[in-house]
Amino acid sequence: MNKVETYIQQFEPEIQQRLLVLRKLFFETLPDTEESIRYNMPAYKAGTHHLYFAAYKKHIGFYPVYGLPEIEDEVSLYKAKNTKDSLHFPHNKPLPLALIRKIIKLKSKQQ
């Protein structure tokens, strides 16, 4: 079991499933992505950037999401209060997989 799998295993089964869906989405979108733990969170190389997610009691945080004016309206629905680059995906709502896929693709093309 690698470090990301160990991270995911620490959560309750419902949250584990959500995290596994995100993990799978990264590999589907960027098959050659590098997976690691950075800042105590799963991290995925997207071009010259890293994207991160982390589970919390009420949501999954997704970071950093900035510099994407073409989808600002879409990401604004999930922006965490008082932050410029954090998205929160509440556990009581479906993950916005199409939006997350867009973010991964756009970040992988940024310099």
* Half-sphere exposure of residue 69: CA atoms within 13 angstroms, side-chain side: 0
Q: What is the pLDDT of residue 82?
A: 87
Q: Tell me the pLDDT tens digit for each residue of 50-83.
A: 999 999 999 999 999 988 999 999 999 999 988 8
Tokens 């960027």 correspond to: 30
Which residues, listed in sequence order, are joined to residue 61 by a DSSP beta bridge?
54, 88
Read off the pLDDT of each residue in 75-95 and give the average, rounded to a whole number. Answer: 93
Task: Give the residue extent of every domain in the chain.
Answer: 3-109
Look at the chain and count its residues: 111
User: Topology of 3-109 in CATH?
Assistant: Aspartate Aminotransferase, domain 1 (3.90.1150)
